[in-house]
Amino acid sequence: MLFRQLFDATSSTWTYLLASGPGREALIIDPCKANLAQYLRLVEQLELRLVRAIDTHTHADHVTALGDLRDATGCATVMGEHTRAECISERVREDEVLDVDGIRLKALYTPGHTDESFSFLLDPQRPRAVFTGDVLLIRGTGRTDFQNGDAGRSYDSITQVLFALPDRTLVYPAHDYKGETCSSIGEEKRHNPRIAGKSREQYVALMAALDLPRPKLIDIAVPANLRCGRDAPALEDQAPQG
Amino acid sequence: MLFRQLFDATSSTWTYLLASGPGREALIIDPCKANLAQYLRLVEQLELRLVRAIDTHTHADHVTALGDLRDATGCATVMGEHTRAECISERVREDEVLDVDGIRLKALYTPGHTDESFSFLLDPQRPRAVFTGDVLLIRGTGRTDFQNGDAGRSYDSITQVLFALPDRTLVYPAHDYKGETCSSIGEEKRHNPRIAGKSREQYVALMAALDLPRPKLIDIAVPANLRCGRDAPALEDQAPQG
């Protein structure tokens, strides 16, 4: 399997490019508009044909590359069925399996960070891996105070959907702010300080007390992402260093 | 296999933690002193026993964590046989194989960035991977204008030692400045703009013309690293963002 994890330092976003191998059809998860040229260069150099560009949810901190990738490659634009982005060409339902030339991704509905967040389980490849978007981060969880976020639903998604996966399942989130690239379900069950050993009530109280500042770019990024990032600035000059 | 790739954003350094699995002996490659607490936390949470800490070469842009890791865990400190660091407890020779509880790393002498640089080939694990330090970067090569660097030797190390590995061998460098995490030998053979299709003479001329500024931290980092980073500042406040 060809697996490339790519970091956007401005928004601390992790993007994933996957294919069964060089020369095959490929998919990309959570691409940033600012890095469009990098993705297109890699797709060309690895002789891939990009057929699906997926956003786990409507991002509030960066502009998506979905629209630009569609224009450049003809790929489908993919999000979960609850998205409000009208530019999405393929809305996946819970438990639906996307098959890209041998790469199989199962869609898991994991609301909480937003009400339309999906995770994607790479299966049956070994090692098994799950792309968790912002609902489950490495030793953290995504904030739940905007875009119809809900701490109780975040707790349920993490503990009932993601923590139901085998402990050895690798966790690949949409962000990391401390230089980590992946984790595992078992580690997050035991060592995630927000949720390990916490009741639903404790987690909801913890998330309510975070008192985070409003994301600087949310009023630009969300409307732009509802248009798949087309006709929007990449925002890289305006964002803080991640 | 347990494989963790960790990024130091200040110096854009990639560090690698490897073990056969949780609960086993582990090794770490190119750790940064500034991230010591992160490494020790991961080693503890994954129930690892760190037995070897390896530097591919004497770094000029960050202070190594080798000495601190030795003090904290009792691990061996490992470099290639040509190192001038007297604090190193295990000097590996060309083609020597380090075996850490089932993880086998073959030492490859790859001078050029410095005269004491080694690469380490992970073998026979699949996919095969090589940790190249600074001699071969993703679509780049390490500068050759200090610490007895030599562009001709860099060319020979890359083209005769590293490019002799199978094309599918994954390349994990000590640095990346553009958000990429890995490459492959085949890609670098075909697409590395410094060396693909270049003669030795062309490469030497290209490297001589780079005219790079002297690294800001070299006069602090190199003496500190020759003491394995003990009694030195981590330098993180003084370095530019990577």
> B129: closest CA among B140, B139, B118, B119?
B119
pLDDT at A96: 97
**Above 90 in pLDDT, residue A242?**
no
Q: Which of residues 20-39 of A touch B (CB under 8 A)?
A: 22, 35, 38
A160 SS3 class: helix
Enter the tokens of residue B74. Answer: 């009792």
Q: In B, which residues are within 8 Å of A173 by CB distance? A: none
pLDDT tens string B161-200: 999 999 999 999 999 999 999 999 999 999 999 999 999 9
Q: In angstroms, what separates the C-alpha of A146 from chain B's closest C-alpha?
A: 28
**Coil, helix or strand at residue B121:** strand
The answer to whether B191 contacts A45, with C-beta atoms less than 8 Å apart, is yes
- Evaluate if residue A3 carries a pLDDT over 70: yes
A112 has pLDDT over 60: yes
Total beta-carbon pairs less than 8 A apart between chain A and chain B: 49
Predicted pLDDT of residue B242 = 30
Whether residue B7 and residue A187 make contact (CB cut-off 8 A), yes or no, is no
* The CATH number of domain B2-214 is 1.20.1250.20: no
- For chain B, the average pLDDT equals 94
Mean pLDDT over A82-92 rounds to: 96
Distance CA A172, CA B6 (A): 13
Question: Per-domain residue ranges for chain B?
Answer: 2-214
Tell me the nearest-neighbour CA distance from A212 into chain B, angstroms.
23
Residue B126 has pLDDT above 90, yes or no: no
Fold exhibited by the domain A2-212:
Metallo-beta-lactamase; Chain A (3.60.15)
Residue A238: per-residue pLDDT? 47
Residue of A nearest to B7 (CA): A179
Chain A contact for B181 (CB, 8 A cutoff): yes
Among A67, A200, A76, A215, which Cα is nearest to A134's?
A215
Cis peptide before A22 (omega within 30 of 0): no
Instruction: Look at residue A124 in the predicted model and tell me its pLDDT.
Output: 73
pLDDT of residue A235: 66
For residue B9, list chain A residues with Cβ-Cβ distance below 8 A.
Answer: 9, 179
- Predicted local distance difference test score (pLDDT) of residue B231: 81
Ramachandran quadrant class, A229 (left: phi over 0; alpha: psi -120 to 50; beta: rest): left
**Residue B22 pLDDT:** 84
- Greater confidence (A230 vs B34) lies with B34
Q: Which of A178, A181, A182 sits opposite B38 (nearest CB)?
A: A178
Distance from CA of B180 to the nearest CA of A (A): 5
Tens-digit pLDDT profile for residues A46-69 = 999 999 999 999 999 999 999 999
Any idea which of B74-88, B123-137, B149-163 has the lowest mean pLDDT? B123-137
